[in-house]
Chains A and B, each alone.
Chain A
Amino acid sequence: MTSLPTPRPGGKKLGLVIDLDTCVGCHACAVNCKEWNTGGHAGPLPDYDPYGPQPDGVWFNRIHTYEAGEGETGRTVHFPRSCLHCDEPACVTVCPTGASYKRAEDGIVLVNADLCIGCKLCSWACPYGAREFDEDEGVMKKCTLCIDRIYNETIPEAQRVPACVATCPAHARHFGDLGDPSSEVSELVRSRGGYDLMPEMGYRPVNKYLPPRKNTCHAPALPAPATHNASPGGNPNGSNVGERLLAWLDRALSS
């Protein structure tokens, strides 16, 4: 059924919170996602011409890098882009066959590859470019939020998070229930001002992005005692060489 499930108050909405302040743009999420999912629920994820001059293939994460703002206030922002598991996913409602669906129990948007006719209309309906067509199989592929990890009882509990979250070395990706206002991810969204991408489209994404923190030109002023007062020994203006050497060592080690 491509009609959307009736939203239940307090219903589960699994999704990601992506921190643009800490993302370093290393592409590890994209690579680990590809590695897991090529053998997972939506696999294989094809590669075309992988060793040729124009390598291409299906990926569920794409990491962009932007410059935002000018001069001192301008900055470089790394920006991972993947399915946002929207509350109003038009990619689901446009599907003529019922292959695309949104799960009532946790809000995950999936494709049933056995029903997909490969008309590509869902990829046209997604403003975020989350769906990529598998030319080998003739069906549409998309992020599954790693349903084969998050509910997988054969792997240790700590690993039951999406592959992109598990691998992120900067801890820029967080997974949880955004339908539960007391969850860690909801708390993160509240405290950091998490926001929707293209809210004007009206798709109401579940995934949220945390904005880069305000940058300053100066290091924060910390209430630390001045080094010359704290120096255990040595006076930089001392008369003997030993005293001055100690003072230099102290400065060098504590800076």
Chain B
Amino acid sequence: MTPAISVIFFTTASGAGYGLLALLGLLVPFGLVPATPWFGLASLVLALALVSAGLLSSTLHLGHPERAWRAVSQWRSSWLAREGLAALLTYIPALAFGAEWLLARWPDPAAAAFGVLAAAGAIVTVFCTSMIYASLRTVRQWRNAYVALNFFLLAGFTGALWLAPAAQFFNPATWFPEMLALLFGLAGLVAKIFYWRRIDRTPGASTAETATGLGHLGRVRALDAPHTEENYLMREMGFRIARKHARRLRGMAVIVGFAAPLVLSIAALTLPATPALIAAVIAALLALGGVFIERWLFFAEATHTVVLYYGRAA
């Protein structure tokens, strides 16, 4: 599948934003990160900015961006509509949570309730995003349970990596976000490695023989293509990445997206305040870059059954 930059940016940025929002909603009411109003303002603005930038970017690849509002009506059948609806609904408790946080004195039960609701909305939205891909039977690399797990863990990981410097800035003694980042990061890395093993080892159920129904005659080879030049199908769904390049990019995603941020997070726990803050910010930025590469590969390595008709494996 052709990696569309707007969609990759969307899942990366909004994933981090929803991760941060969910962690704020769950941790602040329990006093696990500072509850000061300035921290609340800064971290919630950051979370909602990441989410909103991602959502806006996702409309860029549409043929009719001005009709994007229509995309929530079919939530009964469509994961894309569910995602749009969940994304919009999550703004309500998120903004209420922010307003309560800035105005209330902690501990505040209303803020806690809105926080938990915002977290639930964020988790549901990320799950719906992953299901847009995982529900497609046509792409074997997407049709597995690792996809939802990867999206969830990487949202938690990148969210925690942004929570860490924000919390440290207002209270240098905070250590909980870093611990969370380490936990989500390690789990995310393991899940990603299992995902790569799976897609490398599990062949698709469909072949040129089942696609044409001519398997009873023997092996099926494409002899003549229907058209001489590339068409929409091949441009959109016929993207190919060399195995060598994929290996190299997987290595980069592991180093930039996981190894470096994890080492920097451990460093941030041990360093004095200012260097720790710098290490935490670099860790968050590197992880975003690494997840961007990981998400690019998620598309680039995915093969669609339509290429079977054009004499290629899917």
Interface residues of A (CB under 8 A from B): 1-4, 20, 25, 27, 30, 54-59, 62-70, 73-77, 79, 81, 90, 92-99, 115-121, 123-129, 132-135, 137-140, 195-202, 209, 211-212
Q: Nearest CB to that of A208 among chain B residues?
A: B213
Q: Nearest CB to that of A55 among chain B residues?
A: B229
Interface stretch among B62-70, B91-99, B106-114, B287-295?
A: B62-70
Contacts of B237 in A (CB 8 A): 123-124, 129
Give 1 or 0 for each of B227-255: 1 = CB within 8 Å of chain A CB.
Answer: 11111110011000000000000000000
CB interface residues, B 48-69, toward A, < 8 Å: 61-65, 67-68
Q: With A117-B63, A129-B306 in contact, is A62–B217 under 8 Å at CB?
A: no
Confirm or deny: B198 has a beta carbon within 8 angstroms of a beta carbon on chain A.
no
Contacts of A135 in B (CB 8 A): 63, 232
Chain A nearest CB: distance from B255 CB in Å? 31
* Pair B212/A77 contact, Cβ less than 8 Å: yes
Chain A nearest CB: distance from B227 CB in Å? 7
Contacts of B226 in A (CB 8 A): 27, 30, 62-64, 81
Q: What's the tally of chain B residues with a CB closer than 8 Å to chain A?
A: 60
* Complex CA–CA separation, A27 to B184 (angstroms): 55
Q: Nearest CB to that of A128 among chain B residues?
A: B306
* Pair A123/B210 contact, Cβ less than 8 Å: no
Interface of A is mostly: loop
Q: Nearest CB to that of B238 among chain A residues?
A: A129
* Pair A70/B213 contact, Cβ less than 8 Å: no
* Complex CA–CA separation, A82 to B217 (angstroms): 22
Q: Nearest CB to that of A201 among chain B residues?
A: B137
Chain B nearest CB: distance from A187 CB in Å? 20
Chain B nearest CB: distance from A119 CB in Å? 6
* Pair A115/B70 contact, Cβ less than 8 Å: yes
* Pair A56/B230 contact, Cβ less than 8 Å: yes
Give 1 or 0 for each of B1-29: 1 = CB within 8 Å of chain A CB.
Answer: 10000000000000000000000000000
Q: Nearest CB to that of B307 among chain A residues?
A: A129
Confirm or deny: B274 has a beta carbon within 8 angstroms of a beta carbon on chain A.
no
Interface hub of B65, B220, B228, B309 (most chain A Cβ within 10 A): B309
Contacts of A54 in B (CB 8 A): 229-230
Interface stretch among B76-84, B144-152, B185-193, B276-284?
A: B76-84
- Partner of B213 from the list A96, A129, A209 (CB cut-off 8 Å) is A209
Q: Nearest CB to that of A80 among chain B residues?
A: B226
Q: With A126-B138, A132-B232 in contact, is A211–B78 under 8 Å at CB?
A: no
Q: Nearest CB to that of B211 among chain A residues?
A: A198
Q: What are 11 A-B contacts defined by CB distance under 8 Å?
A: A3-B76, A68-B212, A96-B78, A97-B73, A124-B139, A125-B136, A128-B306, A129-B309, A133-B232, A135-B232, A140-B63
In the A-B complex, the 10 residue pairs with the closest CB atoms: A118-B63, A138-B63, A69-B218, A129-B306, A65-B224, A96-B81, A62-B226, A68-B217, A69-B217, A96-B71
